[in-house]
């Protein structure tokens, strides 16, 4: 089963808001509180909590699968069970198969790629007859996965990439919710995300942050589109408007307005998960802000970067000259 690590006590963020020289600022501290519904949880699937929309999205994607696709999912699960592999392995294979072939055993592909996982005979995956045999392909995928260091401790889409070696590594995240839903439905695994009703593995910045983070995570792998407002393509500020809208918080549409009037300000190095961080061509002039992302903690942020890229999680460079000195905390 997927691993869950619960903190003994939860943490609630206490926010004090002040107005200094006309600029609203947020000063935060953390206090351990017994019984609060903000817990530190490690989720291999990283798609929970279901209450945040993961199950709804997964159910919707699953409802559009054809009979052939569902049969392939069933084979992936049954072979995984036969091999005594955990549900996380099934999920990785489902996401890889859906991304590579739409869960169909194709007799064509890029160069000599074939089958469910678009395995290439020329790269040693097997003969054309073997890699187009679903039973062989699934077992071969699992055999390679088991040799990936740390596959049980990282996100399913990242493990799928480690097996497939795609030029587009973030695209496997797109089917995360669907894959988890299917292992719950066909594999009879309760709470396949392994996250329950937690807020994920982060200390949230505000009451709206956990909902906004979860909404944004659900869009991982979707393409960037200038002016994109979803539901399947986004720009950097548009995705955050919808994310905080899901939490009942209204913020301006464009990045520089989000910086100037999207919430309370605080030093960027004091940002917590759910706070917005910004980049500008001239950090001394907020009008030049050109990009925004949502901080996740642990020096990571989620964002829709640019044309040709997808919604993804990146590592922040705190010393980058375009990073704005203040973060913004919506809903405070």
Please indicate, yes or no, if residue 43 is contained in any of the structural domains: no
What 8-state DSSP symbol labels residue 81? H
Neighbours of 166 (CB within 10 A): 15
In a domain, 108, yes or no: yes
Helices 156-164 and 134-145: crossing angle, nearest 10°? 110
Q: What is the pLDDT of residue 176?
A: 87
For residue 231, is it within any domain? Answer: yes
72 and 104 in contact (C-beta within 8 Å)?
yes
Do strands 23-33 and 300-303 pair parallel, antiparallel, or not at all (unpaired)?
Answer: unpaired
Same domain membership, residue 223 and residue 322:
yes
The kind and range of the H/E element at 28 are: strand 23-33
Distances (CA, A) of 224 to 3, 236, 294: 32, 8, 15
Residue ending a domain, choose from 133, 155, 185: 185
Same domain, 323 and 209: yes
Of the candidates 158, 185, 212, which is a domain's last residue?
Answer: 185
Per the domain annotation, does 33 fall within a domain? no
Domain match, 223 and 155 both: no
Clarify whether residues 313 and 206 are in a common domain: yes
Same domain? For 222 and 323 the reply is yes
Q: Is position 194 within any domain? A: no
* Residue 34: inside a domain: no
- Count of Cβ atoms closer than 10 Å to residue 264 Cβ: 25
Gap between the Cα atoms of 159 and 165, Å rounded:
10
pLDDT in tens, the chain (332 residues): 333 332 322 322 333 333 333 334 443 333 222 222 222 333 444 444 343 346 778 889 999 999 999 999 999 999 999 999 988 899 999 999 999 999 999 999 999 999 999 999 999 999 999 999 999 999 999 999 999 998 887 888 899 999 999 888 889 988 988 998 898 889 877 666 554 433 333 345 566 888 899 899 999 999 999 999 999 999 999 999 999 999 889 999 999 999 999 988 999 998 988 999 999 999 999 999 999 999 998 899 999 999 999 999 999 999 999 999 999 999 86
Single residue among 185, 217, 250 that ends a domain in this structure: 185
- Whole-number Cα distances in Å, 168 to 162, 174, 322: 12, 12, 27
The torsion region of residue 46 among left (phi > 0), alpha (psi -120 to 50) and beta comes to: left
**What is the model's pLDDT at position 198?**
35
Residue 128 located in a structural domain:
yes
| DSSP 8-state secondary structure symbol assigned to residue 219 | T
CATH code of the domain in which 260 resides: 3.90.1720.10
Regarding whether 206 and 174 lie in a shared domain, the answer is no
pLDDT at 58: 85
Same domain, 101 and 148: yes
Q: Which of 143, 273, 286 has the alpha carbon at shortest distance from 212?
A: 273
- Whether residue 224 lies inside any domain: the answer is yes
Same domain, 261 and 147: no
| Number of domains present in the structure of the chain | 2
Q: Domain check: are 137 and 211 in the same one?
A: no
User: Does residue 266 sit in the same domain as residue 307?
Assistant: yes
Query: How confident is the model at residue 324, as a pLDDT?
Result: 97
Shared-domain flag, residues 306 and 228: yes
- CA dist 117 and 174 (Å) reads 16
Q: Taking the CA atoms of the chain, what radius of gyration do you get in angstroms?
A: 21
Containing structural domain, residue 315? 202-329
Q: How is residue 85 written in tokens?
A: 């592999």
Residues 308 and 239 in one domain: yes
Task: Count CB-CB contacts under 10 A for residue 288.
Answer: 14
């Amino acid at each position: 089963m997927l691993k869950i690590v619960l903190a003994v006590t939860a943490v609630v963020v206490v926010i004090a808001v002040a107005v200094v020289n006309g600029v609203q600022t947020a000063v935060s501290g953390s206090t351990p509180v017994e019984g609060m519904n903000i817990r530190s949880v490690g989720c291999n699937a990283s798609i929970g909590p279901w209450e945040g929309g993961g199950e709804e999205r997964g159910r919707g994607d699953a409802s559009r699968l054809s009979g052939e696709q569902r049969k392939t999912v069933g084979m992936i699960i049954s072979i995984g069970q036969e091999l005594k592999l955990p549900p996380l392995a099934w999920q990785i294979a489902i996401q890889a198969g859906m991304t590579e072939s739409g869960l169909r055993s194709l007799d064509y592909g890029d160069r000599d790629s074939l089958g469910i996982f678009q395995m290439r005979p020329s790269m040693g995956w097997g003969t054309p007859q073997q890699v187009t045999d679903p039973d062989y392909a699934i077992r071969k995928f699992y055999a390679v996965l088991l040799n990936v260091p740390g596959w049980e401790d990282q996100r399913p889409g990242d493990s799928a990439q480690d097996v497939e070696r795609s030029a587009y590594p973030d695209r496997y995240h797109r089917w995360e919710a669907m894959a988890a839903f299917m292992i719950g439905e066909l594999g009879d695994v309760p709470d396949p995300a392994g996250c329950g009703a937690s807020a994920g593995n982060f200390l949230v910045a505000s009451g709206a942050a956990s909902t906004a983070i979860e909404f944004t995570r659900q869009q991982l792998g979707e393409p960037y589109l200038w002016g994109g407002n979803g539901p399947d393509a986004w720009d950097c500020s548009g995705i955050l408007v919808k994310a905080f809208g899901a939490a009942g918080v209204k913020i301006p549409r464009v990045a520089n307005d989000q910086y100037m009037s999207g919430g309370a300000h605080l030093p960027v190095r004091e940002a917590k998960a759910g706070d917005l961080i910004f980049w500008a061509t001239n950090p001394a002039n907020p009008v030049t802000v050109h990009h925004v992302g949502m901080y996740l903690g642990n020096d990571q942020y989620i964002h829709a970067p640019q044309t040709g890229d997808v919604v993804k999680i990146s590592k922040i460079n705190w010393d980058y000259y375009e990073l704005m000195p203040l973060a913004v905390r919506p809903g405070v």
